[in-house]
Each structure stands twice: as structure tokens, then as C-alpha cells.
Amino acid sequence: MKKTVGIIGANGYTGSELIRLLAFHPHVTLSFLYSRSNSGTRISDLYPDLTTVCEMVLTDKPEDVDIIFLCLPHKESQNWLTQNPVKDETLVIDLGNDFRLEGNFGNRDFIYGLPEINKKQLMGAKSIANPGCFATAIQLALLPLAEKGMLNEVFTTGITGSTGAGQSLQATTHFTWRNDNVSAYKTLTHQHVDEILQQLIAFNNKEVTLNFVPWRGDFARGIFTSSTMKTDLELEEIEQLYQDFYAEEPFVTVSRKAVDLKQVVNTNRCVIQIEKSGNVVVIHSAIDNLLKGASGQAVQNMNLAMNWEENTGLNLKPIAF
Amino acid sequence: MKKTVGIIGANGYTGSELIRLLAFHPHVTLSFLYSRSNSGTRISDLYPDLTTVCEMVLTDKPEDVDIIFLCLPHKESQNWLTQNPVKDETLVIDLGNDFRLEGNFGNRDFIYGLPEINKKQLMGAKSIANPGCFATAIQLALLPLAEKGMLNEVFTTGITGSTGAGQSLQATTHFTWRNDNVSAYKTLTHQHVDEILQQLIAFNNKEVTLNFVPWRGDFARGIFTSSTMKTDLELEEIEQLYQDFYAEEPFVTVSRKAVDLKQVVNTNRCVIQIEKSGNVVVIHSAIDNLLKGASGQAVQNMNLAMNWEENTGLNLKPIAF
Amino acid sequence: MKKTVGIIGANGYTGSELIRLLAFHPHVTLSFLYSRSNSGTRISDLYPDLTTVCEMVLTDKPEDVDIIFLCLPHKESQNWLTQNPVKDETLVIDLGNDFRLEGNFGNRDFIYGLPEINKKQLMGAKSIANPGCFATAIQLALLPLAEKGMLNEVFTTGITGSTGAGQSLQATTHFTWRNDNVSAYKTLTHQHVDEILQQLIAFNNKEVTLNFVPWRGDFARGIFTSSTMKTDLELEEIEQLYQDFYAEEPFVTVSRKAVDLKQVVNTNRCVIQIEKSGNVVVIHSAIDNLLKGASGQAVQNMNLAMNWEENTGLNLKPIAF
Amino acid sequence: MKKTVGIIGANGYTGSELIRLLAFHPHVTLSFLYSRSNSGTRISDLYPDLTTVCEMVLTDKPEDVDIIFLCLPHKESQNWLTQNPVKDETLVIDLGNDFRLEGNFGNRDFIYGLPEINKKQLMGAKSIANPGCFATAIQLALLPLAEKGMLNEVFTTGITGSTGAGQSLQATTHFTWRNDNVSAYKTLTHQHVDEILQQLIAFNNKEVTLNFVPWRGDFARGIFTSSTMKTDLELEEIEQLYQDFYAEEPFVTVSRKAVDLKQVVNTNRCVIQIEKSGNVVVIHSAIDNLLKGASGQAVQNMNLAMNWEENTGLNLKPIAF
């Protein structure tokens, strides 16, 4: 029998992207789509691409379900769970940042939902804190070095699509401004740095510094990052580390060929490429910020928690072009 | 048991797009990918998004299979079939324009593969001529009126993404030129006009004129068309015609809301919207030129010919953003 | 001595574009930039590209000047002139649509500011109604035929950049939505149709019908239009008509080569191309909606009204790429 | 009397951009446009935006002129000068990289043409090596620190538009590939690094390391860079250094506000912004790669060499939107 699912904050980008994924997932059925601000509206009126795919009406009355996804603005997941108690046996996956740094909340202990590091803990878990988008792209680029204690001071630049800024209309998501444009924001102070360092340092077993410069790109979907670091390792050693680390991972590919963003857009995949010159290594990584960086990874986590095949419902046709 | 498939011209855009679709299709298995020019090359080296999805090596030795897709430049399908005889029981689907206007070829009689008009003939068919991309978008916009003999003189403007021009490097697909640009081409002389009129006139039972102005757009995927015509019908009557005509069609939606291109990008769907002012009606339609306009429709035709569910393997996640 | 200029509504797109043009115009000096909503703000804080070029502070106190440009939302020009009386000898150029259809207002009689039809009346004029952007592109495409009484029923599709929608944040100017997208709006009901027909019919001396389908394009600047019409004229005759009509016009070029949008972006030029098949003619035209379609044409009109060289300050470097 | 100018390699992007600038320059007249491959072709047939602006025909016969611009592929400037001897009194400005690292060539001693460091030597010079595009953007971002000997190890990421790759059709400038895409190239090995370090080290008087990761962006014009470095200086001290260093420079602005690429597109300007967190400083810079990064800077150098106002012919209207 199919498991029942509720999406809290279904009217936003990550919520609607979950609908696009779960509408065709073989083991679940959508029970309700929760939205306070758009209650009473048909989801396909907000997102016409969902016409015929999902014609549910948004509601502000949550129901008892097997699985709940929280797609709320940061800090509102805690409030929602407090106001809408959820049974202990319900799987809760939070796409916000409320439980990423500190997972204890009432009876629940949220597991950090990066499957490439916590796969065993995620299997059967009831509470999962889904990572941030930049946090996913940068951690996947650095984890194999961290596992060997090889990380030191990292300089990362990352560029993100406009969907990373959500659906609210802002000056920096106005088409006239953003088209053909590039700009920096939250230089050295992006909120994902703490999240990244907490994980990397746990692996690396010694201090790691991350100097992260995020840029806004003139595309809608995707994150591309390049991380630069000094190292004494040879390129072949590093590549081997990465190949070994990701050997069993269905969604991470370490490439010897040039990677680019569109290789992963509309997929749950991450591609990584490593280059080296002198004693400096550069690791590039690319993901779709709404999929491996948010809703796709949430489904991957759900699959693990429910002991389904990890890639169920995630064999997505890439946009490619 | 899964049916075996060969793709002829697998190195091109429509060929590679078929791989993306068939790699996850439950009833088929890819037996060989044929390319003369790239024989010996791994397909994922040409299209890195296919890494881990399909690692087959292109070959110039076709095999005996149940289903063959021809993804060749126009006029080369006939040559290929002549030089590489195919068993009568093999399903042949041609994505070129060799058999669209005249379907007889040796023992084969190609059915025009627009499922919305020829569904019954396509079920069990062995030879299918897949329609052109603009031809699909414009016919779907006009068929319900044609069926009632209501078409007269139509003025259509359509805009297409750069993938419509294929993978060869051309001045008009150079990023520097095409970005932020619009231009017209093949004004009133596009090769799809004959294909469109042959079908529409058969339905309309009287003369139809199509003045078609194609434009190049600064996006990679998709076709958007607006067709203008005089009519005495009321808007509600026209909408009802369309709703009735497409009532059972899984991939065509007639919308009362504004349609836009991204509602259908990376899907096999077509969305249609009708507007009227005075005695003038305008019908808008949008498709993904590589899917409903090419490889997606080819899979839809395969499903029909094999008597599988029409939408098997075609529940694609829209790009949406 | 330089003439003094005030810009009313200097904080909007057309107002700021005037600043970009007038900052380097040899015969004028900017006296004040008026804005009610942004009074007290430095213009270069709103438009950082103006840093060092124009560091004036917006004011809500108009001054006595030689030339006033009104860059207000439609219908607010009349209100502003009523509340802020302007001396009779001041040249007033309205970029809104308040005086395009009906030019009488108090002591003033606004001349329709399309120099290609009203050049003589514009020389020395004191009140000028600057045409709309689509109105400019479509009239320039059709005027030579109208002058010979050859226009009948015209079917026009036009596509416009996002700047045409102004600086307010809207769902249809959100980058995430508009990028790679196309959509229709105001089908057959665009407000410029009346403006266009009023001029064309005056020339054509008989009825003209204009079926106009406007599209939103995924670029920031520019308008491209294609107008289709039946005619008995030969292509060469039509081209000659156009060459003759625009022979003395510095900003309109009739091209035998394919035209595209980027040929005119960031210039005050209009390029026109004519194609014919059977008895159907198609005329393509392209302009920059903010320049020849708004602020550039306003400067051209100012030059004429002040008896300066028509192209003073308008020898703009095209973006080209 | 106007000075005569010849452009060698006028058919390329930087050559044609020079035409766009010089066509309206008050002190020069174009005498000939040299191209071996396109000799006999009208320049406006290659670049239709030049119609009416410049209708000259490309020639392979150079003439005696006052000023020559070399816009040739790298390493061909030396060959051309050898095969086509130029009088000593002719000003030669090379836009290639033949004389940037080593300026001696026959009787000539090429001055490195970055006006912000070599202004005095450029005034009256007869031989100028115009800097590279990334080299300009990165040097302008780092020079004020270098002048104080404060540079140490710098980590720079830069993104460039497609015009940086020139007009040849390449897989990475195909619209279908590049649209919405980002990728890295020449990681840590870009040819401009030596050019940058030669200048910076001369200023800094001690070793400087530059780890430079270039990216391809999905826009046609512009370069945006972010350079990260450790420092003990306070943000205010650094900003003051920059303000002082560029106080007299007409084309460089140090901004306290966020900078973005479109602030400088279609201008000869460079905008710089400085941010600091902890002991890490990040300097952002943006230029138009074809103007301040190539042809605009070449005109600036010509103005200096001829003792004209530095900004003559360079008061360009920004694209802004």
C-alpha cells in the first residue's frame, strides 16, 4: 500500500518541485498540500505546468500522514511542528535550516540528510534535516579530502540560479536586472558556511577554513562551485580518493572530463571534476539547486528512511540542452 | 520480455533525447546506437549528462531489433533503409521528413504519427512517420477547427529554440549572436507548411491557407505559436470544440489561463489557449520541440504501435523554472 | 548657451535612459530630475551605471527650464501639467500616451512625435507627444504602404523585451519565470493599436485593419515585429517605395539582408526588411524599445524642435554582441 | 586635421568594436580596414549594425596612416609588422599579446597600455601593448594593494562572456550548450596570469601568487571577478588606498555599493567593490571585456598617446538594462 504524504509550504518552489517528483513516485500518494497564504487555491493555478499532473487544492488543515515534508522559510519549521504536533512514527523531512546545526527538537533527533555521509543513519530515520543547496554542492566537492584529514584552507566561489532566491519578487530577481548580469552577495558570510564546516570538521578531525564567495548567475536552475586549496597530494591520488569515496553513490559522478552546469540540471545528480597545477588543487562541482540541492535530495532521503531503492522516482530526464 | 531498440543517428539531438527517454522506459532495452560519423565513441563522451545513464559505444553495425528509430538528416532515412534492409515485423519510426508527405516505401506504408489524429491507425502499425516540430505545434492548434471545416486563411507566427537547428555550429546558433536576439527565417516558405496543410485540408475538406512566419528565439528548447484567423464562431463554441477534440488525449491541454513556453519544456505535453476579439480568433500553442515535437512523440507512437499505455516512459518532470 | 532641461519621472526606465543620453548631449544641461516617490535620493544610487556620469539628487520641486520631458505613467502627464503650470515657451515632450490620440490641452497642441511622418511640424514645435514603442516599430514597418493607400488587413506579431514592462516587480518580469520563456499578452487588444491606426488611416485614406498579437520575450531590450498582408505589388516595387520613403531619414534603414534585433539594440535606429511569397508580403522591423521606442526618439524630437541636427547626441555605439 | 587610422584584423570582434568607437571619434578618420580573409567584403555585410555607420570595404592593402591598431590572433602581430613595415612615427597599438611581456621589437619599445599604471609613459608613446581582458579586470582590482606591497597570495575567480572567445564557432560558444550554463576552463593556467603577475610584482616589490579560476558565463559581454586574500589592513584603510589610487582616473570607480556586471556593459568603465570579514578581504571588479578589456582601452591609449583628452570618444551610453 502506498504511503501518504503531506507537504507543508507546498506553494513555494521546493514544495512545488516535490509535487513534480512525488506525483510519479510509485510508493507514495499525496494526501494534502498545506499552505496558509494560498489555502483554497488549486496548485495548478499557481504552477500551470502541474495541470493534469496534480489538481489538488491547497489547504490549511494538515492531516495524519506517513510522511511530512516541511518546505517553509527558515525558522518556521520549529514553529509549525510546535503548533501542529506530529505523531512519533511519522517521517518528518525538513527542507529548511532549523535542524541542520542542532538536530534535537522535542522527542525528535534530526539526522543531517546528506546521504553520501549519513546513509546508514538515514535508513529507518524518522527525522531528517535536508541540507542547504550550496552546502550540498560544496560538501560533495570536499568530503573525500575531509575524510582523510587533508582539508586546510579552502577558497570557494559558487554561482547560483535565480530559483535559489525563492519565488518572492526582488530587485535582484527582476528579469531586467538579472539577465546577462553577475553579482556577488553575502561575501564570506553566507549562512551555509557554518553548516558546511560543522560536517567537514567532523570528518577532517582538524580545523578547516572556508572562504566562500557566492555569486548570482543569470540562469534559473543550478549551482556551480570551484574550490581551491593547497595540497601535497598528487592529482591521481586525489582522484582515487574521490572515486573510492563515491563508488557506491548513485547520484555522484567524479569526472575526468570537463563538467558543466547543464549536465545536471533537472536531475538529482552531482558531477565533480578535479584539476591540479603545482601544489594547488581545484575541485569543481555542479548540482541542480532545487533537486540534489533541495527537493530531489529530500526524496532520496525519504527513500532511504523508508528502505526503498535510493533512486526510486529520481530517474529524471536531464534537460541536457 | 523487453523489446529491443536501435537508434540510427544516435549522436544527434533527437537521437540522444531518445536515449534519455528510453533509458528509463520499462518495456524496452537499447540494443545498439548507430552513428557513422561517431562510430567507436562512447555516447556519454558526446553527451556527458548520460554518464552512468547510458555508457554504450556508438557503432556503425546495425543489429536485428524489434524497434528502430531513424534520427537522420532529412532525405537520409530512405537511403539508410535501402542500404540496411529491415525485417517487415520490425517497427520503424522515422523522425525525419522522408515519409510524411508520401508514406509508401517498398513494402512499408508509413502512418503519419500525430496520435491526436491517427491514433487507431498507429496502434499496431509497423511504419510511422513522426511529424515535424512546428508541424506538431501548429496542427494541434488548428485541428479542432479543421475537423469542423471551419479553417480558412490562417496567419501564424512561431518561435523556436536553438535545438531546432540541430547540433551543427552555425552563425545563427552562435551564442554571441543569438543571445538576446530575435530574427525571422524561411518567411512563408518553411518546409513544414506542406506537411501541415496536407493534414489540415484532409480534415477541413476545403482549402486552407497558412501564412507562416517562423522566428528564431533566444532559448534552447521549445516552440510557441500564435495563429490568427477570422471566424463567426463564438469563443465559447470554439473552446468547446477544442475541449471535446482533446478530451481523451493525455498530452494536450486546452487552457483558459495564459499559457507560456516553460509550462511544457522537458515534457511531452502541448498546451493550447484560445482568445477572441471581434470576429478574430487567436490560438496559442506551446510544445517542447525535442519532445512532443520529436523524440517524445516518437516514444508515444512506439507505445501506441506496441499497444502499451500511451504515456509509458513519458511522465516527465517539467523544468517548470 | 546650453538649454536647460528637466525630467519629470526621472526615476523610471525611460527617465533614466534620457539621463544617459542627455548627460553627453552638447546643447543641453540637466537642471533638475523630478520624482515624487524618490525625492532626496541620488539618481546614481538607483542606477549605479550613472555613477560619475550624473550624480544629481532627485527632487519634487520643478524649476523653470527650456525643455521638459514627461516620463510618467500613462494618464499622469495631464495631471502633472495641470498641477505644475509650464510657460508657453517651454518645450514639453510627453513620453506617455496622454496626448497621442488627442493633442489639444489648454494652450498647447501636441504634435505626434514620429519624425518620419511629422518632421516639418516638429521643427520649432513646443508640444510633442512621443509615440509608443510598439507603435513606432509597427508604423515604421507600414507607413510607406500607407502613404500609397496600399494597406488593407494586416496581421502583426511583435515581441518585446522586459524593459517594456517598466521597473515594477511583476510575476511576468520575475527572472525565474521569464528566462527562456515566451508568452502572449493583450492579444488583439494592445493599447497601441488605436494610436497606430489613427496615423496609418490618415495616410492610407481608407480603412486599415490591424490584428496585433504582442508577445513577451526573454531579453531586456528591443522589439521585433513581423507584419503580414496580401498585396498585388511586386517585391521590387515595395522595396522601392520603402527606400524612397526613408531616403532622407537618418535612423531608418531598409535592408535587403536579414535583420535581427541586436542590430539596433542601444541605438536610435530602426531596421526594416521586406519579404514576399505569392501575393503575401511580410515586413519585419526592429527597434530598441527604450531608444527609438521612447527616450531616443524623444531626444530626436527635441533636436528637431530646437532646430539642432536631428542626430545630435544620438550617435550611439550599438551593443552589437 | 583629423589623424588617419588603419585597423588590421578589422573583421574580428575587437576590430569591429574599434570601428564602432572610431566612427564617431572627433579627431580621427578611418583610412582602411585590413583583413586578409575577408578582403573585398563590405564591413557592414559582416556586421549589419554598422550599416550607414561604416560602409567601408575590407582590403588586404595597408596604407600609410598616423595610427595603426593590430587586432590579430595572438602571435600574428609580430608577423604582420615584419611583413608590413610601418614608419617610426606611426602610432602602433597592439591588442594581441605579442608585446605585453616583452616590449622590444625592432626599433620599437612597446609600453604596457594600462593607463592606470603607465599614464605618463603612454603620453606621446609610439608603441603600445594593450592589456588582456581578464588581465585588466584583475590588475585594476589588485593594483592599489600592490603599490603598497600588500599583496601576498590571491585566489581569484572570474567569469567572462562569450565574446571573449572570439567569433569562431566552437562547441563552447554554441547557443544550445552555453545558454543557462557555467563551466570552468584553463583552471590555474590562463595565459593572462603571467601578464598580471609581471605588473603586480613590479609594483608589489615582493612575490605575489595568483590562483586564478576562469569560468565561462552565459552572457555575451563582460567580465566579473572576485579576488580573495588575507590581510591585516582594516576595510577603511583598504578603501582609502583604492580611492586615492584611482582618484584621478576617469574610468575606474571604487564603489561602497554592490557592483554588478551590467553597470559597465557597453562602457569603458571598471567598477570595484571591496568587502572584508575577519582577516580576509574580497575585491570585486567588473568591466566590458570588449571595451575596457580591449577596444575601448585601445582608444583610451590612443587618446593618451596623441595627447587628446583621455575620454574622447569614450562617453558611451551604458546598456544599463
Domain with CATH 3.40.50.720 in chain B: 3-130+294-305
On whether the C3-130+294-305 domain is CATH 3.40.50.720, my answer is: yes
Rounded Cα gap, residues D212 and A287, in angstroms: 22
Average pLDDT of the segment spanning C155-183 = 97
* pLDDT value at residue A63: 96
* pLDDT value at residue D256: 87
* pLDDT value at residue C74: 87
> A20 to chain B nearest CA, in Å?
6
* pLDDT value at residue D74: 87
Q: Is the Cβ–Cβ distance between A294 and A133 less than 8 Å?
A: yes
pLDDT tens, residue by residue, A178-233: 999 999 999 999 999 999 999 999 999 999 999 999 999 999 999 999 999 999 99
- Cell triple for residue C321? 554582441
From start to end of A100-249, where are the E strands? 104-105, 108-109, 111-112, 127-129, 153-160, 183-184, 209-216, 223-230
- Cell triple for residue D27? 579627431
Q: Is the Cβ–Cβ distance between A24 and B314 less than 8 Å?
A: no
> B220 to chain A nearest CA, in Å?
6
Could you give the angle at the alpha carbon of D115 between the alpha carbons of D111 and D121, nearest 5°? 45
From the first residue on, what is the mean pLDDT of each consecutive set of 10 residues in chain D (321 residues)?
Answer: 97 98 98 97 97 96 98 95 97 97 96 98 98 98 97 98 95 98 98 96 94 98 98 97 98 95 98 98 98 98 98 97 96
Which residue ranges of chain A lie beneath pLDDT 70?
none
* Interface residue ranges in chain D relative to chain C, Cβ cutoff 8 Å: 13, 16-17, 20-21, 23-24, 45, 47-49, 51-52, 163, 179-180, 220-221, 250, 253, 255, 257, 259-260, 262-267, 269, 271, 290, 315-321
Rounded Cα gap, residues D200 and D29, in angstroms: 36
Could you give the angle at the alpha carbon of D143 between the alpha carbons of D141 and D148, nearest 5°? 130
Which residue ranges of chain B lie beneath pLDDT 50?
none
Pairing state between β D209-216 and D183-184: antiparallel
CATH topology for D133-287? Dihydrodipicolinate Reductase; domain 2 (3.30.360)
Q: For residue C256, what pLDDT band results from cuts at 50, 70 and 90?
A: confident
Rg (CA), chain A: 19
Q: What is the pTM of this model?
A: 0.98
Q: How many CB atoms lie within 10 A of CB B40?
A: 9
Rounded Cα gap, residues A236 and A276, in angstroms: 10
ipTM of the shown complex: 0.97
Give the Å distances, CA to CA, from A63 to A69, A87, C303, D246.
13, 11, 69, 63
Point out the residue among A159, A213, A220 whose CB comes nearest to the CB of D282: A213
pLDDT tens, residue by residue, C19-66: 999 999 999 999 999 999 999 999 999 999 999 999 999 999 999 999
* pLDDT value at residue D237: 97
Domain with CATH 3.30.360.10 in chain B: 133-287
| Cβ contacts of D318 on chain C, cutoff 8 Å | 20, 49
Residue of D nearest to C20 (CA): D317
**What residue has cell string 609610439?**
D126
* pLDDT value at residue B259: 97
Residue type for B168, please? S
Show which subunits contact D, needing at least 3 CB pairs below 8 angstroms. Answer: A, B, C
pLDDT tens, residue by residue, C170-204: 999 999 999 999 999 999 999 999 999 999 999 99
- Number of A–B residue contacts, CB under 8 Å: 86
Point out the residue among C20, C271, C320 whose CB comes nearest to the CB of D320: C20
Closest by CA position to B264, among listed B287, B285, B244, B284: B287
Closest by CA position to C145, among listed C297, C281, C292, C287: C281
Rounded Cα gap, residues A62 and C289, in angstroms: 49
Best of A292, A311, A317 to mutate (most B CBs within 10 Å, chain B): A317
Catalytic residues of A: 133
D220 contacts B180? CB cut-off 8 A: yes
* pLDDT value at residue B155: 98
Residue of B nearest to A262 (CA): B49
Point out the residue among B213, B224, B278 whose CB comes nearest to the CB of C182: B224
* Interface residue ranges in chain C relative to chain B, Cβ cutoff 8 Å: 155, 157, 159, 176-177, 180-185, 187-189, 211, 213, 215, 217-222, 224, 226, 228, 258-262, 265, 273, 275-278, 280, 282, 284, 286, 321
* pLDDT value at residue A74: 87
Q: Is the Cβ–Cβ distance between A94 and A70 less than 8 Å?
A: yes
* pLDDT value at residue A256: 87
